[in-house]
Amino acid sequence: MKFRLVLFLLVAAFAGCTNTKIEKKEIIRKVKVAAVETGEPILKSEFSGIIREDRENNLAFRVAGPVKAIYAKEGSFVKKGDLIAEIDPRDYQVQVDVARAQYEQVKSETGRVSEMYNRKSIAGIDYDKAVSGEKMVAAQLQHAENQLRDTKLFAPFSGYVQHINFEKGEMINAGMTFATLISLNTYKIEVDIPALLFVRRNDFTAFTCQNNESGDEELPLILTSFTMKADNNQLYKLYLNLDPQLNKKLAPGMNVKVVIYYKNQAEQSFSIPVEALFYKDGNTYVWIFNPESSVVNKRRVEPEALTGNGNIRITTGLTGNEKVVVAGVNVLKENQKVVLLETAGKTNIGGLL
């Protein structure tokens, strides 16, 4: 009897266990949120640029010979027309003397032939030969004189001597670069921009640049030109001018931060931290935090371009009064309950306490 009672109690207990549902504990994740910011009528994008000299020329002699003298030094300023260097002119002076003697002789002979032709003492063909001969030796004299003048190298414009590649007494051939001259009347700044911004070039309103030497001061730039064909990285190059007098500490070769300002084409746009975006099935989404229910909901958005302060511009999908999740976006689920992370205090650096 006791055995049957015990068996009955065991069966009842087992049946009760099988009908009991095991409830799973809901996971509540901690998230960090940020408010959606309203877009501005004038947008800006920042890029890295480099300062270039206004003009750079490689100076070369048009004749060959040993360097006789160098009148400029590397780093020195020269004015347009200043003598930079010269080649030993002795051989070229001899050529001029020979060519001049030949010219004087032929010229005298042509004068005698001309008198005979006027008296009809010689045929016209003989006269034509004499005149042609005079023109030929005149051209040879001109060529010799040009070569003599080319033994001197003058500055084609005012600027600074960047490099001198030869020393006094060294032999130099025609066309070899003797020195490099740069002009600093205007600084040129080159910057590469993506195609997404290049197609909006008609909306550009202003350009500025900053450098560690200029601090927070934004120096104005003037757009001069741009390339109409992208490079292999799908980037277009912009060329801008900077007045060197605005900051005399700047120099060619320095890196600068270039800021491009342009009109906002959207009727209304917003910006959010780029960390708020996540991607699924080829679309871009954000998690919208509902403060009343403390749950998150997925919403599709259309991003446009970075704003330069860690945010990205959103053209569609937001109304402006939302809060989006910016940390832990890849582990959340639709309608999941969350709790906000507390803001770190001054004595709780990093929110570790």
**Among candidates 243, 240, 246, which has minimal Cα distance to 258?**
240
274 and 338 inside one domain: yes
Instruction: Kindly report the average pLDDT of the chain as a whole number.
Output: 86
**Chosen domain end from 212, 230, 263:** 263
Range name among 25-29, 150-154, 160-164 with the lowest pLDDT average: 25-29
For the cut 80, the answer to whether the pLDDT of residue 350 exceeds it is no
261, 308 Cβ separation under 8 angstroms: no
pLDDT (mean) for 322-351: 77
Which pLDDT band, with edges at 50, 70 and 90, does 136 fall under?
A: very high
Q: Per-residue pLDDT averaged across 1-7, rounded?
A: 49
Among candidates 209, 212, 200, which has minimal Cα distance to 313? Answer: 200
Amino acid making up residue 177: T
**Structural domain contains residue 12:** no
Query: Same domain, yes or no, for 253 and 191?
Result: yes
Q: What CATH number corresponds to the domain at position 115?
A: 1.10.287.470
pLDDT score of 214:
61
Domain match, 175 and 67 both: yes
pLDDT band at 242, cuts 50/70/90? very high
Transcribe 205-239 into DSSP letters.
EEEEEE-TTTTTPPEE-EEEEE-SS--TTSEEEEE
Same domain, 178 and 161: yes
Q: CATH no. for residue 290?
A: 2.40.420.20
Tell me whether residue 215 is in a domain: yes
Tell me, what's the pLDDT at 213?
67
Residues 174 and 323 in one domain: no
Over residues 264-280, mean pLDDT = 84
- 65, 211: one domain: no
Using CB atoms within 10 Å of the CB of residue 348, give its burial: 0 to 12 exposed, 13 to 18 middle, 19+ buried. exposed
Mean pLDDT of 221-245: 94
- Classify each residue of 95-128 as buried b or exposed e, where b means 16 or more C-beta atoms within 10 Å of its C-beta: bbeebeebbeebeeebeebeeebeeeeeeeeebe
Report if residue 16 sits inside a domain: no
Decide if 168 is inside a domain.
yes
Taking only the tens place, the pLDDT of each residue in 215-231 is: 668 899 999 999 999 99
- Does residue 304 share a domain with residue 202? no
**258 compared with 263, residue with greater pLDDT:** 258
Q: Is residue 129, in this structure, part of any structural domain at all?
A: yes
Q: Tell me, yes or no, whether 49 and 197 share the same domain.
A: yes
Which of 134, 166, 183 is the endpoint of a domain?
A: 183
d(CA 315, CA 308): 16
Percent of the chain whose predicted confidence (pLDDT) is above 90 = 58
Instruction: Kindly tell me if the per-residue pLDDT of 353 is higher than 90.
Output: no
pLDDT, residue 270, reads: 86
Same-domain pairing of 50 and 192: yes
In the listed set 263, 282, 297, which residue is the last one of a domain according to the structure? 263
Question: For position 72, which CATH number holds?
Answer: 2.40.50.100
- Is residue 61 one of the residues assigned to a domain? yes
Residue 99 forms part of a structural domain? yes
Give the total number of structural domains in the chain. 4
Supply the CATH number for residue 223's domain. 2.40.30.170
172 and 193 share one domain: no
Residue-wise pLDDT tens digits, 45-89: 899 999 999 999 999 999 999 999 999 999 999 999 999 999 999
CB atoms within 10 A of CB 332: 18
Residues 80 and 67 in one domain: yes
Assess whether pLDDT exceeds 60 at residue 7: no
The better pLDDT of the pair 345, 178 is held by: 178
The answer to the question of residue 24 being in a domain is: no
Domain shared by 272 and 250, yes or no: no
Is residue 98 scored above 50 in pLDDT?
yes
Residue 48 forms beta bridges with which residues?
Answer: 257
* Confidence at 343, pLDDT banded by 50, 70, 90: low
Domain, as residue range, for 321 = 29-41+268-343
